[in-house]
Every structure is written in structure tokens, then in C-alpha cells.
Chain A
Amino acid sequence: QQQVKQSPQSLIVQKGGISIINCAYENTAFDYFPWYQQFPGKGPALLIAIRPDVSEKKEGRFTISFNKSAKQFSLHIMDSQPGDSATYFCAATSGGYQKVTFGTGTKLQVIP
């Protein structure tokens, strides 16, 4: 049973467009919500993260929107670039941030 549901599975966006990836969770014990970016042949790398008491966090072109009541959060990539083409994973932590549950991933392709 996937505790963090991620959609879409794949996404194609034109250069300069906005990429949006959505995640939903059921476990109210989750206490931190990071997003990871993974390039082929590499391990994931932390992109941006948000605490559940914050509704939005922005870092450069990347923004997390968090809706605690709906138990949903999303990643927005503004002005998407071909270099953003990668697989993106949402995640949620619990147990004092020790246990990490990942979504199933979204493969993003930004076309010129």
C-alpha cells in the first residue's frame, strides 16, 4: 500500500512552462515533506522541503504548496528548463524524521 501517492507518472512540458507534480498522503503522523530530484545513473538529491505548519515554500524556480487539511502537497517548477529533465520524488518522514516514505516518482521531460 503506497502511503504517499504521486501523480502524474510522467510529464512533458515545453521550455519556459510550469511543471506541476502532485502528492497526497493519509498518515497524519508525517512531520516533514521533502522533494528529491534524480538524474539517470545518480542517487536522488534533496531539492526543497517543507514543514507541515507552512503552506508554501519557494526556492528560486521551485515552489512547494502544502494543504494540510486536504493532506496534499505539490511541486511547481516555474520557467522549466531542459536541464530540469529528471525524475522527481515526493517524500514524507515520520518517527522523528527517521522513517522516510517516498512517492512513486514523476519523470519530467522539458522539451526545447
Chain B
Amino acid sequence: EAQVTQNPRYLITVTGKKLTVTCSQNMNHEYMSWYRQDPGLGLRQIYYSMNVEVTDKGDVPEGYKVSRKEKRNFPLILESPSPNQTSLYFCASSFGQGPNQPQHFGDGTRLSIL
């Protein structure tokens, strides 16, 4: 089954404790992206990647890191999480990026940082 898998789905942690949210897709997609969803703000793009070793900043990259060492994986790293990073996070992928290249989203990771 074609899917985007995020882990963990839920996490409660404390300020300053490094964490990684993994994202994996099995569709051989080139493009991957991370978003955070907050009430009243919609989804905001954190980082995106056009291919292995090619990443770029979205609208809200501060406090986050990403890496793309393999095509299928695009982990999101919070080196020193803070309470303002409490949010619902989505990973997405697509074969390319453009018309007729729909993004496939994972089911989300809910992070609570105390």
C-alpha cells in the first residue's frame, strides 16, 4: 500500500530534550516536505526537499533541522525543543512538484513540549 508513515504519532516531552520525528514513503517520490498545523494558522511549511541531499527552508524553519540522506526518508529534528513547537506535524511527499503531482500526506504527529 502506497503511504507516508510518520513516527511517533504522539509524543509528550520536555523543553530542551532533542527529538526526531521520522517520515518514510514507499512511493519512490522525489519531493518531500514537513508542515506544522496550528489552530487559526492552517498549515505552514517548515522545510522541503527536492531530492537526496537537496533541502530548502519553508516559511517557518527556525528551531528545526532536516536531512535527506535516502530518497525514502526525511526526518525532522528538533535539537532543543521549546513549548512554542507544540503542534501537529505532517510529512508529505510527491513524485515531483507541480501541476498534477499531488502531495500525499502522512496521518500526523502530535508533539507536546512541556
On A, residues with C-beta under 8 Å from B are: 2, 6, 9, 32, 34, 41-46, 49, 51, 89, 93, 96-105
* A102 / chain B contacts, CB cutoff of 8 Å: 35, 42-45
CA distance in complex: A100, B105 (Å): 13
Q: Which 5 A-B pairs have the closest CB atoms?
A: A43-B105, A46-B102, A97-B98, A104-B42, A102-B42
Contact B45 A49 (CB under 8 A): no
On B, residues with C-beta under 8 Å from A are: 4, 31, 33, 35, 40-45, 48, 50, 56, 58-59, 90, 92, 97-99, 101-103, 105-108
A42-B107, A45-B105, A49-B99 known; A98-B48 Cβ under 8 A: yes
Contact A103 B33 (CB under 8 A): no
Contact B97 A44 (CB under 8 A): no
* B99 / chain A contacts, CB cutoff of 8 Å: 32, 49, 51, 97
Contact B42 A6 (CB under 8 A): yes
CA distance in complex: A44, B42 (Å): 11
Instruction: Look across to chain B and name the residue whose beta carbon is closest to the beta carbon of A98.
Output: B97
Instruction: Look across to chain B and name the residue whose beta carbon is closest to the beta carbon of A9.
Output: B40
* B92 / chain A contacts, CB cutoff of 8 Å: 43
* B35 / chain A contacts, CB cutoff of 8 Å: 100, 102
Which of B4, B40, B43, B103 meets A46, CB within 8 Å? B103
Contact B43 A99 (CB under 8 A): no
B32–chain A nearest beta-carbon distance, Å: 11
* B40 / chain A contacts, CB cutoff of 8 Å: 9, 104
Which of A46, A96, A103 meets B42, CB within 8 Å? A103
* A98 / chain B contacts, CB cutoff of 8 Å: 31, 48, 50, 56, 97
* A49 / chain B contacts, CB cutoff of 8 Å: 99, 102
A43-B92, A43-B108 known; A99-B103 Cβ under 8 A: no
